[in-house]
């Protein structure tokens, strides 16, 4: 509770002070507090590879913790499904972070994605998205939706693949960290915070240069993410 209060006060003074580049300030604020909140949840973070300097970052999706973990590594802006906005704690954090929300089943919203990305890109921020469209138990990589990659194709942006995984000391990450199926948020969060030690590992791959159409790009990214996760293809 004290961490949330501190984050709120810090947000008011820090983000409001940087009005001219508020989106970048929000990304920096989220990076700082993502690290602190992950620590409060008992999550240790390690990463390998190089975080991209521009373009899009695509990652497999395991848990609501993914946003905190990725944000703690480097400031960035996230694209998320709209219902995350109303989740306790995480929803508030993502709203403060300047997260872009989308109803994926609404084709008109998907068509607006290039315009949604523009403010972040003009402030040299990487936009991170989870093209599986939902979270999984972390033991597989679901097919990637290509529609969200259209801005990268239209604007000739690099797209960087990333892989995230969790290990729980004395527990099972598929149930204690992964948030999927019919799990309920608050009981899951309480159980996660009760774990003795959780390790989050992120691997960044090599950026994929422009030149592919969105469906080709989706297939290439998924293959790269699987390789980073050391899946047998």
Residue 21 has pLDDT above 80, yes or no: no
Strands 198-204 and 159-168: antiparallel
Question: How many helical (H) and strand (E) elements, i.e. helices and strands, does the chain have?
Answer: 10, 7
Cα 95 from chain centroid (whole Å): 13
Q: Work out the pLDDT band at 17, boundaries 50, 70, 90.
A: very low
Residue 129 half-sphere exposure toward CB, CA atoms < 13 A? 29
Sheet holding 198-204, edge to edge: 43-48, 198-204, 159-168, 56-59, 127-129, 77-81, 100-102
Lowest model confidence (mean pLDDT) among 6-10, 47-51, 196-200? 6-10
Tens digit of pLDDT for each residue in 204-228? Answer: 999 999 999 999 999 999 999 999 9
Q: Check residues 26 and 16 and name the one with the higher pLDDT.
A: 26
Retrieve residue 67's tokens.
């946003």
Cα 43 from chain centroid (whole Å): 16
SS3 for 56?
Answer: strand
Q: Check residues 9 and 68 and name the one with the higher pLDDT.
A: 68
Residue 29 has pLDDT above 90, yes or no: no
Q: Check residues 188 and 87 and name the one with the higher pLDDT.
A: 188
The Cα–Cα gap between 72 and 106 comes to 31
Among residues of the chain, what percentage have pLDDT more than 90? 56
Q: What is the CATH number of domain 2-228?
A: 3.40.1130
Mean pLDDT value of segment 113-127 = 87
Cα angle 190-37-69, degrees, rounded to a multiple of 5: 100
Q: Taken in order 109, 115, 119, 124, is the CA torsion positive or negative?
A: positive
Q: Let me know: does 101 contact 85? Beta carbons within 8 Å.
A: yes
Please name which of 32, 137, 162, 52 lies closest in space to residue 93, comparing C-alpha atoms: 32
Q: Work out the pLDDT band at 173, boundaries 50, 70, 90.
A: very high
Domains of the chain by residue range: 2-228
């Amino acid at each position: 509770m004290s961490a949330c209060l501190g984050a709120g006060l810090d947000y008011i003074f820090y983000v409001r002070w940087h009005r001219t580049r508020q989106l970048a300030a929000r990304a920096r604020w989220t990076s700082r507090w993502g690290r602190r909140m992950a620590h409060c949840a008992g999550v240790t973070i390690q990463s390998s590879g190089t975080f991209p300097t521009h373009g899009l970052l695509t990652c497999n999706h395991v848990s609501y913790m993914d946003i905190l973990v990725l944000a703690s590594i480097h400031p960035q802006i996230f694209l998320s499904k709209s219902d995350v906005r109303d989740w306790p704690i995480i929803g508030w954090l993502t709203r403060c972070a300047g997260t872009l929300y989308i109803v994926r089943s609404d084709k008109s919203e998907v068509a607006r994605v290039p315009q949604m990305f523009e403010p972040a890109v003009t402030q040299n921020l990487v936009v991170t998205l989870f093209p599986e469209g939902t979270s999984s138990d972390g033991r597989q990589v679901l097919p990637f939706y290509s529609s969200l990659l259209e801005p990268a194709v239209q604007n000739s942006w690099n797209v960087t693949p990333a892989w995230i995984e969790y290990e729980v000391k004395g527990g099972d990450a598929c149930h204690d960290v992964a948030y999927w199926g019919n799990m309920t948020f608050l009981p899951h969060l309480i159980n996660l915070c009760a774990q003795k030690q959780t390790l989050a590992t992120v691997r960044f791959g090599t950026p994929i240069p422009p030149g592919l159409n969105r469906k080709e790009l989706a297939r290439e990214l998924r293959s790269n993410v699987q390789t980073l996760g050391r899946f047998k293809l």
